[in-house]
Amino acid sequence: MKVLTVVGARPQFVKAATVSRAFRSCQPQVDEVIVHTGQHFDANMSAVFFEEMQIPQPQYQLELGGLGHGAMTGRMMESVEAILQKERPDWVLVYGDTNSTMAGALAAVKLHIPVAHVEAGLRSFNRAMPEEINRVVADHVSSLLFAPTEVAVRNLANEGIAGGKVVRSGDVMYDAALFYSQRASGTALQQIGLEPRKYFLATIHRAENVDDPARLEVIVQALARCAATLPVLLPIHPRTRKKLAETGLLKGLDTGKLRLVDPVGYLDMVQLEQHAAVVLTDSGGVQKEAYFFGVPCVTIRDETEWVELVECGANRLAPPTSVQAVVDAALAAAAQRQPAPPGLYGDGRSAQSIAHALACAA
């Protein structure tokens, strides 16, 4: 059986690493063809992942990053369609909620090739988010939907997607956390000069935050205020750096206890997450990784698709409409470190169940 996997952004590489490993040991045998759209084209956000996570090198590199949503998605669909006509896979496998996800799913379904969507059923219920549109479209054209949680299964049922095509698989990000946390023995903390449990780790990249100057300024001011309590480390997404420069917020930002660094490799990021006092983020994946490592999280957004993390107290929502609200949430999280309930995302064998389901569906 042949599976064509479409990836293009950093979180997808993490998820694909676990499933690709499962494919290599799967019976019946699965032949995987990997297409990298290039949605994240920075070497620190792409190439290094394939190296350190031992993901097979993509057979196709499209290099289609740096475009607007419409142009990027359209060109991805055109390129993926040509590859599908050449490779003729049995399945197309897509992950998450990026432009690459939607482009791969649409290109496949228009050629009548079945689509499998890993991380199906997530909903923020905010259609202003490009990610929400991508995940909804991918779900509604998929033939096999791997939902990570019971909430995701219910979301799909509410939209009329149910039955045997929906599989509660657990979350492949949990598989990755278990596997790679044992290998994250680098020196990132020492090199940056941080002490365990004595720093905030921040990641900011979503369009709703970085494209809105008012929200971006609130975030910057809040991080600066937090740095008065504990150092703040901000591995900065290339797009975020660009927006900070355009708005004049970058000048003078990397001073004192607020540290800006280039994006780090996945193993270094795992180590930084494991040892943070609090994680402040607008990333979906980082929210979960903080939970996996028992680190309190503050999500700097109006809502989250990972509602169970908020419900159990592992995560706090802090919309960036008020500097004080973000700071208060960060300090409260630092003061109330409590173990979160285990088992929200499966047993760490999600990738094997996905590989088996695909192999048996051929």
Residues with catalytic function: 205
Q: How many CB atoms lie within 10 A of CB 176?
A: 29
Residue 120: partners with Cβ closer than 8 Å, 6 or more residues away? 135, 138, 139, 142, 145, 146, 147, 152, 156, 166
Phi, psi of 335 (to 5 degrees): -85, -15
Inter-residue contact 238 to 263 (CB < 8 Å): yes
Is there a cis peptide before residue 341, judged by omega within 30 degrees of 0? no
HSE at residue 110, side-chain half, CA atoms within 13 A, is: 13
Q: Kind of pairing, strands 60-61 and 31-36?
A: parallel
Q: Kind of pairing, strands 91-95 and 2-7?
A: parallel
Phi-psi map region of 256: left, alpha, beta (phi>0 left; psi -120 to 50 alpha): left
Alpha-carbon distance values, 334 to 20, 213, 229, 241, 278 (Å): 37, 27, 10, 27, 6
Residue 234's DSSP bridge partners are: 260
Distance CA 48, CA 115 (A): 28
Distance CA 247, CA 210 (A): 10
Alpha-carbon distance values, 352 to 26, 169, 356, 359 (Å): 8, 9, 6, 10
What tokens were used for 250?
A: 């970058």
Q: Which amino acid is at 24?
A: R
